[in-house]
Structure 1
Amino acid sequence: MSDDPAIVDCLIVGGGPAGLTAALYLKRFRRSVLVVDGGESRAAWIPESHNIPFFSHGISGKEILAREREHAARYDVVAETGRVTDVRKSEGGFRATIESPNGAAREVAARRVVLATGAVDVEPDLPDVPDAVRRGLVRYCPICDGYEAIGKRVAVIARGDRGVGEAIFIRRTYSDDVTLLTLGEQLDLEPGQEEDLREKGVTIVPEPVVGLDHEGDAIGAMRTAQQELHFDILYSALGLRYRSELALALGARHDERKALWVDEHCQTSVKGLYAIGDVVIGLDQIVVGMGQAAFAATHIHNRCEYPTEDE
């Protein structure tokens, strides 16, 4: 066993709000923790959030991450930059391969693993504006910031069966002026659903957008072949790609979108493997991910073996 890597109580994959919260809890439980972060937290895209408790004047996603890193560092938690390329079961827990930015790889052993790998928004294909969501020109969470859309002209980019529910949610909660933009793609509507949308005051624009103008941190106008459209706020509702590959390779239970199922302790169907944050089936919110981190970390501490004398 002398050639084996040193074993840690918990490997946390992902250094976003959920992952760092789990690390903080575990370190305060006096557990050994390794955090590996690829530097692609979805939270970093948030221009300013007003629904995080204690920050009544708003806080950006980057500031949330910076404050959490500083807090965790007080307990010697440092998120190592790298990518976990595989996780596999082994005697005593798991083994994982970590690839550093320079391409070097090493193996680590952990009694438990927490996946806080998150998800990636499917970006709309808008002319002349790559990475519209990342740049803050397009929003993606009306639950987070729909309050700031009260009484404004709102558009929702939709495709297939995505977006209709979001448009109705915004219409019934925040604004009387809501438009569904399909960007020339097909909407999968149930019989009578289009008429129901129009009765609810939701306008549908099926034509592709051929051009747009953006002014600072907002899109000023969108042009189709037939008209020029003006909105105050633009949301994309094209769905998420879940970063659940590590769990799927271990046979973890998931839904049709590959979001992970977890129990009341945030443990997946693979014993010892936990998942928290946006990669989990449920409501994608920072405070939800932090709560899941507390559940997972406490369960890990109460169920995790103590180090052996050799260790």
Structure 2
Amino acid sequence: MNAVLDCIVVGGGPGGLTAATYLARYRRSVRVFDTGCTRAAWIPKSRNCPGFPHGVGGPELLERMREQARTFGVETVESEITALHRDAEGFLVRHDDRELRARYVILATGCEDVAPDFDGLEAAVDCGAVRMCPICDAFEAIDASIAVHGPADTAAAHARFLRTYSSKVTLVPSTPDIADEVRAELARDGIELTTVPATLSFDGKRCAFELDGRARAFDVLYPMMGIISRSSLAVGAGADCDDEGALIVDRHQMTSVDGLYAIGDVVSALNQISVATGHAAIAATHVHNRLGANFA
């Protein structure tokens, strides 16, 4: 087994890379484990990211952040942490067939969008026909015909949010169960409610639902079918989570397990890059302070 690290960061998205960069600049030994599953990699271009007035693609942003971390000596391992255990000496983690020790662990494992299953999903995301985050990019959908697809009782809130940007918002429910009060709210706000679609397809430019036997295309589709928190590693180590599986943390981003921190989309908070990097700064600084004096 190798020497004990000051901190292991699990996840190589914007939050994890920011935490690692902070720790390296604090002159702490840190290693990032990255499986490449960050949601940021799906972003074709974000104009909502601070410092990029003309927008930046997720892959480009990630490469810039990886380069920054490498500049300060951060090592990234392309491997999955499969087990995490807290003991009196800190944390024992397992990846592949190896074990590694660290005094602290920061989880930046994120979450996974539940997306509709149809041919061409990646291409649709790449050209902006499918978008995952209204907060990030609804500004670019001003006056477009917008479909919001998901369970009506939860997707309705997203549809109402999007009415700020377009008068042509349609909620396409994924299930037939719709509360009467939801129907009334949608009607009040001028949002059309359709029947449950038979199919969903992509023609290279727009997505179309088959509704009542006829195809109906939209400029932009927002699938709002829920998210899956990648919190099982922390929960397995004893960390508390909410009803949706998001990890519960204190003001320092520490979970209910002493020394185990969580940042970004795996935490119950606003799922934004700027939020994840803020979480990272808070967690990394608290880890540094707990480690104590580090005189050269």
TM-score (norm 1): 0.89
Aligned partner letter, 2:5: V
Q: Matched residues in 2 for 1:273 and 1:10: separation?
A: 10
Give the whole-Å Cα distance in 2 for the aligned partners of 1:306 and 1:154: 55
- Supply the distance in 2 between the matched residues of 1:195 and 1:288 (Cα, whole angstroms): 34
Whole-Å separation in 2 of the counterparts to 1:11 and 1:133: 35
Output aligned runs, 1:24-35, within 5 Å.
24-35=21-32
Q: What is the distance in 1 between the residues matched to 2:105 and 2:32? A: 10
- 1:138 counterpart (125, 130, 135): 130
Rounded Cα–Cα distance in structure 1 between residues aligned with 2:10 and 2:98: 15
Helix, strand or coil: the match of 1:89? strand
Could you tell me which of 34, 44, 48 is aligned with 1:37?
34
**Higher share of residues assigned helix:** 2
Counting aligned pairs with the same residue, the percent is 45
Kept in 1: contact 2:130–2:220 (CA 8 A)? yes
Cα offset, 1:224, TM superposition: 2.5
Trace 1:16-165 onto structure 2 (pairs within 5 A). 16-99=13-96, 105-126=97-118, 128-129=119-120, 137-159=129-151, 161-165=153-157
Judged with a 3 Å threshold, the aligned counterparts in structure 2 of structure 1 residues 41 and 304 are, in CA distance, closer, same or farther, namely same
- Counterpart amino acid of residue 116 in structure 1: A
Aligned twin of 1:229 = 216
RMSD, aligned CA: 1.8
Stretch of structure 1 that moved more, 230-239 or 114-123? 230-239
1:261 matched to which residue of 2? 248
What is the rounded CA distance, in whole Å, between the counterparts of 1:283 and 1:213 in structure 2? Answer: 30
What residue is the counterpart of 1:176 in the other structure?
A: 167
**1:251 alignment partner in structure 2:** 238
In structure 2, distance between residues paired with 1:47 and 1:121: 16
Letter matched to residue 10 of structure 1: C
Residue number in structure 1 paired with 2:5: 8
Whole-angstrom CA distance in 1 between matches of 2:147 and 2:199? 16
Amino acid at match of 1:72: A
Choose which of 184, 187, 191 in structure 2 pairs with 1:202.
191
**Which sections of structure 2, spanning at least 5 residues, go unmatched?**
none
Q: Is residue 124–residue 132 contact of structure 1 (8 Å, CA) maintained in 2?
A: no
User: How many Å separate the matches in 2 of 1:276 and 1:211?
Assistant: 34
Indicate if the aligned counterparts of 1:164 and 1:180 stay in contact, CA closer than 8 A. yes
Whole-Å separation in 2 of the counterparts to 1:225 and 1:15: 44
Deviation at 1:119, TM superposition (A): 0.5
Listed as ranges, the gaps of 5+ residues in structure 1 are: 100-104
Distance 1:266 1:133 in 2: 35
Q: Shift in Å at residue 239 of structure 1?
A: 1.0
Q: CA deviation at 1:230?
A: 2.5
Q: Distance in 1 between matches of 2:167 and 2:47?
A: 22
Separation of aligned partners in 2, 1:130 and 1:37: 24
